[in-house]
Amino acid sequence: MKLLVIEDEKALADNIRSYLSTNEVICEVAQNYQEAVAKLNVYSYDVILLDIMLPDGNGLDILHYLKEEQSEAGILIISAKNSLDDRVAGLELGADDYLTKPFHLSELNARLKAIYRRRKFQGFTEIKFNEIAVDTNNHEVSIHDKQLELTVKEYELLLFFISNKNRVLTKQTIAEHLWGDNVDFLDSFDFVYQHIKNLRKKITAADGQDYIKTIYGLGYKFHNN
């Protein structure tokens, strides 16, 4: 996956690049409007991460530019403004998703991958992780080709884990992924534990391996031993 990060805050761009750069992801950074347009003229990207507020122009102008160029890149907007208008304007101009600062890098990763899947495979995609297969189009999960009955939250949780495999996910990150803004009033993250317990049970009951490793006092990691 080729990714362009258009973000004027260098420290944040560095974070994103260090976190996302893997064997599968090539990540480039543009720090302003001019640089972004120059890069977009020359290269093609699978996904573009766009900060709406740029020092030399509005990020929405880049959306206009991409639309004119009939670019096929997926676009994820990041903004410090949790403003409905910006969100609507961005999505209307063809952005795929909108993320408000500050975000968890794992959340960003999951969203980027979702956009990439939708764009690249037009939704007909099956994510495989050993014996686990996730059909993101029909929201179905099967283990050893046997369908697994999961609740919506359990499905989201599993997908979030697979998108962030081998990464440490804190309870906070997971809670915010599952419940969004409503998480702020839940004083404990016991309910994350509940969901993970149920998911584990269902996977092992279907003869799947337990890939969810508990990191004491912190969170979980989904990985293949």
Where on the chain is the footprint of other proteins (CB under 8 A)?
A: 9, 11-12, 15-16, 18-19, 80-82, 84, 100-106, 153, 167-168, 170-172, 176, 179, 182, 184-187, 190-191, 194, 215-219
d(CA 33, CA 12): 16
Nearer to other proteins, 12 or 93 (CB): 12
Residue type, 166: N
**Cβ of residue 150: shortest distance to other proteins, in angstroms?**
14
Nearer to other proteins, 9 or 72 (CB): 9
| Stretch (H or E) spanning 201 | helix 190-205
How far apart CA 46 and CA 73 sit, in angstroms, is 5
- For the bound state, the minimum distance from the C-beta of residue 215 to other proteins, rounded and expressed in Å, comes to 6
Between 24 and 190, CB nearer to other proteins: 190
Per-residue b/e over 79-101, b at no fewer than 16 CB within 10 Å? beeeeeebbebbeebebbbbbee
CA atoms of 196 and 219, how far apart (whole Å): 11
**Is 53 within 8 Å of 59 (Cβ atoms)?**
yes
Question: Rounded to the nearest whole angstrom, what is the least distance from the CB of residue 224 to other proteins in the complex?
Answer: 16
- Give the separation between CA 219 and CA 225, rounded to whole angstroms: 18
Least distance CB 131 / other proteins (angstroms): 26
Residue 197's nearest CA partner among 173, 175, 184, 214 is 214
CB of 126 to other proteins, least distance (A): 27
Q: Which is nearer to other proteins, 65 or 189 (CB)?
A: 189
